[in-house]
Structure 1
Amino acid sequence: MNAPTSFDQAQRRRERLVVIGNGMAGCRAVEEILARDAKRYAITIFGAEPRVNYNRIMLSPVLAGEKSFDEIVLNTAEWYAENGIELVSGDPVDHIDRERQTVVARSGRVESYDKLLIATGSDPFIIPVPGRDLPGVVTFRDLDDVDKMLAAAEQGGPNEEQGRAVVIGGGLLGLEAAHGLSLRGMTVTVVHLMPTLMERQLDEAAGWLLKQELERRGQTILTGADTQEIVGKDGHVAAVRLKDGREIPADIVIMAVGIRPSIMLAKTSGLECERGIMVDDHMVTSDPNVLAVGECVQHRGQCYGLVAPLWEMCRALADHLTEQPSGYAGSVTSTKLKVSGIDVFSAGDFSGGDEGEDIVMRDAARGVYKRLVLKDNRIVGAVLYGDTVDGNWYFDLLKKQEDVSEMREGLIFGQAFALGGGALADPNAAVAALPDDAEICGCNGVSKGKVIQCILDGAASLDAVRSTCKASASCGSCTGLVEGLLALTLGDEVQAGPKTMCKCTSFGHDDVRRLILEKELKAIPQVMQELHWTTPDGCASCRPALNYYLLCAWPGEYEDDQKSRFVNERLHANIQKDGTYSVVPRMWGGITNPRELRAIADVIEKFDARMVKVTGGQRLDIFGIRKEDLPAVWADLNAAGMVSGHAYGKSLRTVKTCVGSEWCRFGTQDSTGLGVKLEQMSWGSWMPHKFKMAVSGCPRNCAEATIKDFGVVCVDSGYELHVGGNGGIKVRATDLLCKVATEEEALEHCAAFIQLYREDAHYLERTAPWLERKGLEWIRAQMFDDPDAVRRLAARFRHSQKFMQDDPWAKRAAGERRDLHSHLATVVPAGMEYA
């Protein structure tokens, strides 16, 4: 027999603490104990799941594809090892012998204890209807449930149809499951017994708003619907039948009707139980050596399913086990949630009644609803939908039962307005006015005082706060409050995290672009609502960027918002310092003809333009046009067959050419013809920034192709394609992307490069800094590692062009407009349909 190690001896000198439950409550209790006395207990944790502790609140983002499992892990394997904790995972405890003070696991393993902590959480409630045990009926409580749902989403329905999911239960978990499966491509129906969604958290009005929004996103919501039977076919779930006779086809059914405290283990061991395991203010059960914490307990007649009360229990339990007794007196709860990306908040009693008095605000345009219930000038209940920024402040007023009569008139408009006497105050004033014990992060139970202490202890950035005290590390809805505390505490010493789009949001450009696609956001107000914009309508920095990102993401679906464009783009003219405008009609590849020249001359004389100038891009710029004359100027130019040159937009500007092989004795290819084809292919395309091209007919490079965003240099054997040049303030020569043999390949690769730039670059980022940020090898990898990538990118570009070139500002008004789509068919290889 091996001699005991020093580690074993050290463990034996400690009291033995066994924890049943490796979930959020059990591990949080252990964290609290370690923070008070790390050497007091030798700790063994038994977990039913074969994995480390993770954040169950974040299962919904995993289902939706927004996070991976690794991103929601709370306690890594290294954490257990570093703290001397033995984790027994995938082996649940089946029996407690209180007389011998041992527990017996399913594997037969026996472990003795001095103190036992039960943190078994809750079990999903399965409605007792026929068919509930069929394969394909799942709950939504752990990662295994998520894996089953993902498998159903990937498998789809019969005959390669889109998979069909029915979610029974319109509470938070049910709606999150529906949202995630919808994002995964399934057709989703929610069946809810009550007339209002989330009736425990929302009143009728807010529940109706939520139902309308979810239906707008494509889900079917059936309220007041009672399930009679789950119908099977060939040994698998096939449909859900309601008591009114309706039958809803289903490839998977998710039971999300509620939870019950998991008390069977405690009950069979003889501990006193009612709805939950009975505990006192120190979380001690009817056995002084057995404690319990979390969703499984009943304290003073209450069972809690929210995170904040559980954290308060854990603190009281840790105080007791380290002989620093404080006691838990129960919790006044609030609920601040993100339901399918929509912010909701509720607290207290919002049922109203004869003695209650309602203050209500509705803002349909922003999708905001607020309701406060007052009794004797004190808040007793609150419901917020769409804008929950003041939820913590309302909750603090509710808990302290403060008299709000002096701020009553501005109360519904929020803290900054109410305390500012009707004027909007400094955005950080609201969080500054909160007391130190005010809750900032409900997901992790972190108060304002704890966040400030964390910052004073050295957490000088948002990421540092998240990793240290976990505030804002879960759902992220309190990010603005944490950032406000950083600014108030450190001022200019706050360490910048990833650069955000603007001051209206905590998200950077890449995250905004990703979430627009993942969440299928198709309107600027929807983006601002979903991503917690701190301003009602955005600003001059974010609105044009959002407008572009939506145009790029949803061609043909999103309608260009002219209000979100700069004046030059709205008017297709450049404003000059004297208040007049200059107009640049497009000349394909720098080529013109008598009709176009006559039209330009007529416009100059008719509208008394003071100057006409040849631009660096081989076009004519007409100066001195009055704003009121711009529509007439464009009408005359359109009548001559000339479209906008977009010399004022974030789009293709020019394609500069030399005369090439047709005229020049050094020319190797038809550079002018290729330049015209490139311009006709790509004109009217909105991009992150201005975009210029050039085609030089030989290596002498007369068109200066090697300082353009995309340049072609013709050589004897074909075409060199160059990217990322800039001839502006900071001159940058291009990098060689590749070499191709034919015009068709040059056009194809150009379309693919433009689309990659359109889909990845930040708004107002030229190709030169974009290429330097991403790297030439990354761009080559995106285009060439997959043999089909160029084709797919080019197809997406052409698909978007069908809508860009139909822009009423860009197209000709005359009937002689060239059919560009027919022309494209002659210069772009066939079979490149939208992929």
Structure 2
Amino acid sequence: MKAKQKLIVIGNGMAGIRTVEEVLKRSPEAYEITVFGAEPHCNYNRILLSPVLAGEKTLKDIVLNDDDWYWKNGITLHKGKTIVAIDRRRRLVRTEDGLETPYDRLLLATGSNPVIIPFPGKDLPGVIGFRDVKDVDRMVDAAEKYRHAVVIGGGLLGLEAANGLRKRGMEVTVVHILDSLMERQLDKPASALLKRALEQDGLRFMMEAQTEALLGEDRVRAVRFKDGNEIPADLVVMAVGIRPNIELAKAAGLHCERGIVVNDTMQTYDPRIYAVGECVQHRGQLFGLVAPLFEQAKVCADHLVEFGIARYQGSVTSTKLKVTGIDLFSAGDFQGGEGYEELCYQDPARSVYKKLTVRENRVRGAVLYGDTGDGAWYFQLMREGTDISAFRESILFGQAHLGDSGHGDQNRASLLPDDAEVCGCNGVCKKTIVDAIVQQKLFTLEDVRAHTKASASCGSCTGLVEQLLHSTLGSDYSVTPAKKPLCKCTERTHEEVRAAIRREGLKSIPAVMQFMEWGTVDGCASCRPALNYYLLCEWPAEYRDDAQSRFINERAHANIQKDGTYSVVPRMWGGVTTPAELRAIAEVAEKYRVPTVKVTGGQRIDLLGVKKDDLPRMWADLNAAGFVSGHAYGKALRTVKTCVGQEWCRFGTQDSTRMGIDLEKMTWGSWTPHKFKMAVSGCPRNCAEATIKDFGVVAVDSGWELHVGGNGGVKVRATDFLCKVETEEQVKEYCGAFMQLYREEARYLERTAPWIERVGLPYVKQRIVDDAAGRQTLFQRFMESQVTAQVDPWAERARGAERNEFQPIRIDRKGLAA
């Protein structure tokens, strides 16, 4: 029996491991395979790092090949080991810790490194690239501690980083040296649409801006531009491109230019060494998209197992992207120019834009924004050089509009020819998918991904794959349910956890973790606060709030600031105060030498710059003056904003100030899945901005209009109209019932706006408006829970401080109070 040859793969990324997969398909016994990866992780989908940053996925979700896969295929995996030398004469590689491993064939898949522009200050802490899991972890940590982020680079990667940081709560500015975003994938009209949509989502842009230096001492604090302008920056992400990682190959004497030079068999100038992926240069070209990397992997595998047939001759690529929820597609020479014709379709109301460049009645390029369903068809026409004369007048309306086929949009994929490429990343055509559905009896998107890899990489072809499932199976098609685990410690969803707490009578965090077989002993910074909230919500009279599962702001009853001091906000009922209260606040501010006293947007006074050691004594003084906490730090009722209403305003129709004070006194101290804000306006002019609050009340001549689900933050959302009531007591009842329904059914850290969008306004109306008995029961449960909730969190701590029993607060590395 012929002994196995030794194949060493340097690089545990997508290109290298795809090559290994292709080798195993062709000849599973050909090699004894050893893989060295510099990262301490299994092979994962780098394309999906953006959803991980945004909190939409976890690292576990994007792993392509887990430890078990390597073991089952007899592959030795060295995680977290960097190869520092290749000895071509002795045919071995050496790690930084001195391990030497021989090879018969060597595959270089070293990928690329992010370009870090050599500005002054580039080495400051807080300045990073966006390339791997470590970068994502650093960004997530920064988002928990800091406020201002600057992303340098307006390409795809930069926008994904900016979107993820925005979703993590940071204020993000994108700095781009050119006048349009994603200029390599979009023309200027499509880029303008994208910029407008992202601005509406809360991103800020500085176009045609030239960075001069990054400023800071112990950490980056600002970005300075060549025009002298400066903007604050606690985090700077450079996303200006990638550079092939060729240092190891150069040190080994392999021929390199911009990348490791390879021939059509993916062989380097050393016949025993092959290279694939972003590190290679083929016919003068470098590669950054997944599709050509996977094509290279197939060719390389053919030659490693000595089939010796395939040749890599470059790739015709299309780009199917999903930037922050917006579908984009581009392919070919979409910029056009002399000799080209441009066919354009634009529907501003739907934010849809399509442009095809045509030459001699053949599609040469395409840009699609908002509606990319026909992207695969346009790409097929372009690759095959199809003459479009016969259907040129309707081509912009898509394949479904050809002739009298009667097919709607959902069946566009069924009209594609069998050899049409559906998944560009993995090179999967329509026939492969349909055959797998029929022959393997596949019924879900996840089944198709597992068998064909279609839509398993960037996910942009998911819609087409689902269309093929629908057209092939008809009513047998099963839509894979969206099941989002509570956190990385468990596979259970928020709803499953809450149901188990209720059904099994679980009344402590350890009990929940034990019963539901938690993956980690103590949980994590995501699940511990959530479990604490769900237990408190289910058993308000019995469960004791676990301070160890609260974040530092809630534990300290004050908001920590970027310099380590705290912000203290006493509650002012409905924004109304008295000279005596103002004097008391002034005396406290002077006594504790508060550097900044500011009126907040919620009609209260914020004492900024308070030292941690002063918090208990300051709150003791404020309690003595009659103040309770404003919960500016809490997942609780924050503020009730009011206007002066009928008492003073000539337009006022009801006493909005008193209504707001009554609501605040009824609801203060309440714990909720996320922060909760209210407002009461005295007339439809809405000076208190009630229609962008979680619960808004607008006075009219005949009573009160009630509004729910607003958000005035980064992503502004106007409220939905709930109903109209006549009396002040009804306002209170509906408010308490709505808050209780939200508390009992929303997921932890889910604001009212996304909760209502998820469950639907008709459901909320049915529970609150239509079901009178149910509403009263919800209100009663809310009021009963308030008996224990309306205890000022500082009262006991202040009394303890007087007895010198105050315990200092420690913060663990996850930001939880320890």
Pairwise TM-score range, normalised by the shorter structure: 0.5 to 0.7
CA shift for structure 1 position 468 = 2.4
Map of 1:273-288 to 2, 5 A cutoff? 273-288=256-271
Q: Deviations over 1:74-94 (max 9, x none)?
A: 110111111111110111111
The SS at the match of 2:320 is strand
The equivalent of 2:153 in structure 1 is 169
In structure 2, do the counterparts of structure 1 residues 494 and 379 end up closer, same or farther at CA, with 3 Å as the change threshold?
same
> Match of 2:69, SS?
helix
Report SS of the residue matched to 1:335.
Answer: strand
Cα distance in 2 between the residues matched to 1:642 and 1:169? 49
Give the C-alpha shift of residue 170 in structure 1.
0.6
CA–CA distance in 2 between the matches of 1:294 and 1:790?
A: 61
Quick one: distance in 1 between partners of 2:701 and 2:46?
Answer: 63
- Correspondence for 1:217: 201
Identify if the C-alpha distance between structure 1 residues 212 and 429 changes in structure 2 by more than 3 Å, giving closer, same or farther.
Answer: closer
RMSD value, Cα: 3.6
Aligned to 1:289: 272
- How far apart, CA to CA, are the structure 2 residues paired with 1:791 and 1:200? 55
User: Is the Cα contact below 8 Å between 1:279 and 1:298 reproduced in 2?
Assistant: yes
CA distance in 2, matches of 1:155, 1:750: 32
CA distance in 1, matches of 2:459, 2:640: 32
1:255 aligns with 2:245: no
Task: Give the corresponding residue for 1:135.
Answer: 125
Does the CA contact (< 8 Å) of 2:704 and 2:731 recur in 1?
no
Taking the aligned partners of 1:352 and 1:43, their CA distance within structure 2 comes to: 47
Alpha-carbon distance, 1:118 to partner: 0.3
Question: Are the equivalent residues in 2 in contact too, given 1:46–1:89 (CA < 8 A)?
Answer: yes
What is the DSSP-based 3-state SS (H/G/I as helix, E as strand, rest coil) of the residue aligned with 1:13? Answer: coil
User: 1:652, CA displacement in angstroms?
Assistant: 8.5
Closer/same/farther in 2, CA of residues 790 and 138 from structure 1, 3 Å limit? farther
| Pairing 1:253-652 to 2, within 5 Å after superposition | 253-324=236-307, 325-417=309-401, 419-420=402-403, 425-455=407-437, 456-498=439-481
3-state DSSP of counterpart to 1:174: helix
CA contact (8 A) 1:510 1:762 kept: no
- 1:66 aligned residue: 56
Kindly provide the CA deviation profile for residues 5-56 of structure 1, in whole angstroms up to 9, marking residues without a partner as x: xxxxx9x931111000000111111111111111111100000101111111
1:752 is aligned to 740
SS of equivalent residue, structure 1 residue 254? strand
Q: Distance in 2 between matches of 1:401 and 1:510?
A: 51
For the structure 1 residues 367 and 256, does the alpha-carbon distance in structure 2 shift closer, same or farther, using more than 3 Å as the test? same
The CA distance in 2 between the partners of 1:298 and 1:116, in whole Å, is 17
Identify which of 32, 43, 59 aligns with 1:42: 32
Gapped runs of 5+ residues in structure 2?
484-492, 496-638, 642-699, 707-719, 747-754, 769-776, 791-818
The one-letter code matched in structure 2 to 1:308 is A
Distance 1:787 1:184, change over 3 A: farther
The number of residue pairs the alignment matches comes to: 545
For 2:228 and 2:766, how far apart are their aligned partners in 1?
A: 63
CA distance in 2, matches of 1:257, 1:59: 17
Q: 1:89 aligns with which of 79, 82, 102?
A: 79
Deviations 1:313-349 (A, max 9, x none): 1111112222332222210111111112211111111
> Which structure has the greater CA radius of gyration?
1
Q: Which residue of 2 aligns with 1:153?
A: 143
Query: 1:681 pairs with 732, 737, 745, which one?
Result: 732
Deviation at 1:226, TM superposition (A): 1.2
Say yes or no: does 1:18 pair with 2:22: no
Question: The residue matched to 1:17 in structure 2 has which SS?
Answer: strand
TM-score, normalised to structure 1, is: 0.61
Task: Give the secondary structure class of the aligned counterpart of 2:199.
Answer: helix
Distance 1:790 1:45, change over 3 A: farther
Where 1:132 maps in the other structure, the secondary structure is coil
In structure 1, the partner of 2:535 is none
1:212-238 per-residue CA deviation (whole Å, 9 max, x = no partner) reads 222222221111111111112x32211
Q: Say if 2:400 and 2:415, in contact at 8 Å, map to a contact too.
A: no
CA distance 1:96–1:762, shift in 2 (3 Å)? same
Q: Quote how far apart the aligned CAs of 1:651 are.
A: 7.0
Cα separation, 2, equivalents of 1:209 and 1:380? 23
Q: Which of the numbers 159, 174, 180 marks the counterpart of 2:164?
A: 180
Paired residue for 1:106?
96
Shift of 1:73: 0.7
CA distance in 2: counterparts of 1:288 and 1:457, whole angstroms: 40
Q: Does 1:122 align with 2:112?
A: yes
* Counterpart Cα distance in 1 of 2:258 and 2:116: 17
- The DSSP-based 3-state class of the residue aligned with 1:320 is helix
After superposing the two structures, state which structure 1 stretch, 72-81 or 33-42, moved more: 33-42
Aligned-pair distance for 1:470? Answer: 2.5
Quick check: 1:14–1:42 contact (8 Å CA) kept in 2?
A: yes
CA deviations 1:600-659 (Å, max 9, x no partner) are xxxxxxxxxxxxxxxxxxxxxxxxxxxxxxxxxxxxxx9988999xxxx9978999xxxx
Secondary structure of 2:98's aligned partner: coil
Contact 2:445/2:465 (<8 A) preserved: yes
Distance (Å, rounded) in 2 between the aligned partners of 1:101 and 1:790:
72
Which amino acid in structure 2 is aligned with residue 40 of structure 1? A
Equivalent residues of 1:307, 1:445 under 8 A apart:
no
State the Cα distance separating 1:475 from its structure 2 match. 4.1
* Counterpart-to-counterpart distance in 2, 1:21 and 1:74: 14
Q: Distance in 2 between matches of 1:410 and 1:427?
A: 14
Larger CA deviation: 271-280 vs 440-449: 440-449
Which residue of structure 1 lines up, in the alignment, with residue 596 of structure 2? none
Distance 1:766 1:174, change over 3 A: closer
Say which SS state the counterpart of residue 489 (structure 1) adopts: helix
Aligned to 2:65: 75
Distance in 1 of aligned mates of 2:69 and 2:35: 13
Alignment of 1:732-771 (within 5 A): 751-753=739-741, 756-757=744-745, 759=755, 762-763=759-760
Q: Find the residue that maps to 1:198 and give its secondary structure.
A: coil
Distance 2:252 2:786 in 1: 63
Q: Are the structure 2 counterparts of residues 682 and 469 from structure 1 closer, same or farther at C-alpha, using a change threshold of 3 Å?
A: farther
1:236 equivalenced with 2:219 (yes/no): yes
Q: Which amino acid aligns with 2:443?
A: A
Q: CA deviation digits over 1:494-528, x for unaligned, max 9?
A: 3453399xxxxxxxx999xxxxxxxxxxxxxxxxx
Structure 2 Cα separation of the partners of residues 458 and 40 of structure 1: 32
Task: Please give the alpha-carbon distance, in whole angstroms, between the structure 1 residues aligned to 2:203 and 2:55.
Answer: 18
- Taking a change above 3 Å as real, the CA distance of residues 749 and 361 of structure 1, as seen in their structure-2 partners, is closer
Bigger CA drift: 215-224 or 82-91?
215-224
**How many angstroms apart in 1 are the aligned matches of 2:469 and 2:406?**
21
Judge conservation of contact 1:97–1:269 (CA < 8 Å) in 2.
yes
8 Å CA contact 2:49, 2:132 repeated in 1: yes
- Paired letter, 1:434: L
Contact 1:136-1:251 at 8 Å conserved across structures: yes
> Per the alignment, do residues 416 and 788 of structure 1 end up closer, same or farther by CA in structure 2, a change over 3 Å counting?
farther
Q: Structure 1: which amino acid aligns with 2:427?
A: G
Corresponding position of 1:197: 181
Q: Would the aligned equivalents of 1:752 and 1:791 in 2 still touch at CA under 8 Å?
A: no
Relative to the length of structure 2, the TM-score reads: 0.62
Q: Secondary structure at the match of 2:319?
A: strand
